[in-house]
Structure 1
């Protein structure tokens, strides 16, 4: 089969003659991929900032398709079912899964010992990502093996296009969880850093949850325009002070809830701390660029909430933790518990409350994937979200 594979920093290739996946466990399924996507988290691999990658790893964790083969104990699916596969792999039986904390499943990371050493305790296995999360082959391929497919997969009813439901596997529930973690009240101002795909869904989620006003911070015109279309007030951080504008919009009180939809590669251009982070990252003295975290901690209203769906990979520096402690800020973060939200979100799609396809700007064949990684990373050609068709 063909698949996109990681061969080093800024080196994603569409390789031919990659071995087809096979059934390895009785609960497995093999899915023929009909659509997959490039996620902002994939860029951390492309840019070489995520440890634990190996040459030849198949990348991609947003995908869907048709079930073509099943393990003998998988009784909940049938060949021909159309499914979206969440990026978090979970068993459904461990203590964390029973609590609905699917992204920290205690069993699905087959490299548990590595994760224990890095994080203190293992997290769930993830598709197409670092070997710290299991090293599972990803979904930017023609076929994928899906472990625990009897409980993990989301069956899609007839009448919905791939483009409407593909993002149930990651960015739609990620944006939704980011807003849900804020426990939004009708009087709240919610500030969202990043107008990429997760930020766009966080905007629409916060609006659906009844926020008084939603503010989005970015510097890419096409993304800011899309954010305004979703109901947000926008701030271009290249043109005005984020802190001053947020204080103006909140009469000096600061936003009640803040969402970091950027993560480890913030692109602030005018701040001293951002230049400091880039210099330290270049010589491997710091893994992540946490400008957004610092800004949120500084500007958030006392007793507010910081929700962090943006991915961080390691060590960060110069965090104003004293400000966060003394202001009584609450931090809520983590990889998304995708299946906690999928039933409700699928219903909302069916009822027309949201059509996730609005975020797609580019649809190309799998073989064009490598060049689209660069286009997406560099925000060229108005690129917000790339869908690949194997």
Structure 2
């Protein structure tokens, strides 16, 4: 089959790779009809996530048709011919974390949990196409994929909704929604979202759906801010204004009630000397992240507010504003998304027309053009917001 593979830092390559096979009783094989390039894929390509190997199949946002099921999969749960969306974290459904609906912390799905524990102090779940740190599972930017624990993870789509309407239930829509849900939004709240990429856009839409009075979009790309503004959100360009000052202006001097970091470890900063500081720290390996958005969210949030972090971090940050966090009674919440918890409720919101996931799709390409898709997405060419690939 054809698949998009990691071919070294800043390089992907579509190759012929072996077809996946049933390895365990609860596996299924899915013929992929749609997949996507995610912002967190760029962390792999940019070399920030260790343990990638040449030929690893990328991709953790995918859906398609079940073509084979293992003998341990109950027929009532999944059958050949079912149309499914596959969540990016792989959950066993039986451990203590899964019982608590903390699916991205599953204790049984990552065969390389020991490596993850050394990095994070605790095992993390297996993830499709996301390095050997998270299990070395082949990803979904391919014609077929093996899905472990297939009686637990995939969501059956039994309506006539298009792939484009439901594909993002695999990751970015639940991630954005969880970011807003962790904010405990009240009807009078002003919510500021750092990052107007796909996850940020869905965090904004989710904050609106959950009742926020105003949602502020913070980014530097005009086309991303325009996309947010068309959806009814207030744009702030951090290269044109001082973000904290502008947020104070918009909130009567208090700051936003709730702040969402939808950027993560590769953040940019409008001030060249501040941006240079973190790049130097990275170069001498005294930190692994660029936490501009996280710092700014903590310093901008009003006292007693909530800072929700859904941007990906994997290592160490410097100059964390612990004093502002502690002395102003801020609540900090975070986590890889527990996608399985949100898939059905968000599918219902899509069916009711409350959220339109298709609004962020700007490019649809055949799988064989994945390399071009990564290039235009990473470098924000052609006003690229989200790339969907068709195997």
TM-score bin, normalised by smaller chain: over 0.9
Q: Provide the residue aligned with 1:274 in structure 2.
A: 275
Q: Provide the residue aligned with 2:66 in structure 1.
A: 67
Matches within 5 A, 1:131-150: 131-150=132-151
Whole-Å Cα distance in 2 between the matches of residues 120 and 2 of structure 1?
A: 36
Q: CA deviation at 1:269?
A: 3.4
- With 320-329 and 196-205 compared, the bigger mean Cα shift is at 320-329
Matches within 5 A, 1:79-90: 79-90=80-91
- With 377-386 and 314-323 compared, the bigger mean Cα shift is at 314-323
Task: Give the 3-state SS of the residue equivalent to 1:149 in structure 2.
Answer: coil
Whole-Å Cα distance in 1 between the matches of residues 87 and 50 of structure 2?
A: 22
2:329 is the alignment partner of 1:331:
no
Q: Provide the residue aligned with 1:24 in structure 2.
A: 23
Q: Provide the residue aligned with 1:167 in structure 2.
A: 168
Whole-Å Cα distance in 1 between the matches of residues 132 and 190 of structure 2?
A: 39
Task: Give the 3-state SS of the residue equivalent to 2:152 in structure 1.
Answer: helix
Q: Provide the residue aligned with 1:320 in structure 2.
A: 321
Task: Give the 3-state SS of the residue equivalent to 1:177 in structure 2.
Answer: helix
Matches within 5 A, 1:92-111: 92-111=93-112
Whole-Å Cα distance in 2 between the matches of residues 309 and 230 of structure 1?
A: 21
Q: Provide the residue aligned with 2:181 in structure 1.
A: 180
Matches within 5 A, 1:292-303: 292-303=293-304
- With 47-56 and 281-290 compared, the bigger mean Cα shift is at 281-290
Q: CA deviation at 1:237?
A: 0.8
TM-score, normalising length from structure 2?
0.98
Q: Provide the residue aligned with 1:2 in structure 2.
A: 2
Whole-Å Cα distance in 2 between the matches of residues 263 and 91 of structure 1?
A: 27
Q: Provide the residue aligned with 2:213 in structure 1.
A: 212
Q: CA deviation at 1:282?
A: 3.2
- With 265-274 and 91-100 compared, the bigger mean Cα shift is at 265-274
| Contact kept in structure 2, 1:61 and 1:87, CA below 8 Å | yes
Task: Give the 3-state SS of the residue equivalent to 1:4 in structure 2.
Answer: strand
List runs of 5+ in structure 1 lacking aligned partners. none
Whole-Å Cα distance in 2 between the matches of residues 260 and 254 of structure 1?
A: 15
Q: Provide the residue aligned with 1:42 in structure 2.
A: 41
Q: CA deviation at 1:283?
A: 3.9
Whole-Å Cα distance in 1 between the matches of residues 177 and 364 of structure 2?
A: 24
| Contact kept in structure 2, 1:203 and 1:231, CA below 8 Å | no
Whole-Å Cα distance in 1 between the matches of residues 324 and 201 of structure 2?
A: 28
Q: Provide the residue aligned with 2:381 in structure 1.
A: 380
Q: CA deviation at 1:284?
A: 3.1
Runs of 4+ in 1 over 4 A off after TM superposition: none
User: Structure 1 residues 368 and 283, CA, compared in 2 at 3 Å: closer, same or farther?
Assistant: farther
The superposition leaves residues 244-287 of structure 1 with CA deviations (integer Å, 9 ceiling, x where unpaired) of 11000011101111000000001213253222112222343321
Q: Provide the residue aligned with 1:248 in structure 2.
A: 249
| Contact kept in structure 2, 1:207 and 1:231, CA below 8 Å | no
Task: Give the 3-state SS of the residue equivalent to 2:325 in structure 1.
Answer: helix
Whole-Å Cα distance in 2 between the matches of residues 307 and 320 of structure 1?
A: 15
Task: Give the 3-state SS of the residue equivalent to 1:68 in structure 2.
Answer: strand
2:314 is the alignment partner of 1:306:
no
Whole-Å Cα distance in 2 between the matches of residues 278 and 368 of structure 1?
A: 32
Task: Give the 3-state SS of the residue equivalent to 1:207 in structure 2.
Answer: helix
Q: CA deviation at 1:163?
A: 0.3
The superposition leaves residues 5-64 of structure 1 with CA deviations (integer Å, 9 ceiling, x where unpaired) of 112111110012x01110011111000000000000001011111112111111100000
Q: Provide the residue aligned with 1:233 in structure 2.
A: 234
Whole-Å Cα distance in 1 between the matches of residues 375 and 189 of structure 2?
A: 37
Whole-Å Cα distance in 1 between the matches of residues 361 and 351 of structure 2?
A: 19
Whole-Å Cα distance in 2 between the matches of residues 8 and 315 of structure 1?
A: 23
Whole-Å Cα distance in 2 between the matches of residues 159 and 297 of structure 1?
A: 43
List runs of 5+ in structure 2 lacking aligned partners. none
Q: Provide the residue aligned with 2:367 in structure 1.
A: 366
The superposition leaves residues 95-144 of structure 1 with CA deviations (integer Å, 9 ceiling, x where unpaired) of 11011110101111110111121111101110000211111110001100
Whole-Å Cα distance in 1 between the matches of residues 282 and 119 of structure 2?
A: 19
Whole-Å Cα distance in 1 between the matches of residues 133 and 18 of structure 2?
A: 23
| Contact kept in structure 2, 1:129 and 1:135, CA below 8 Å | yes
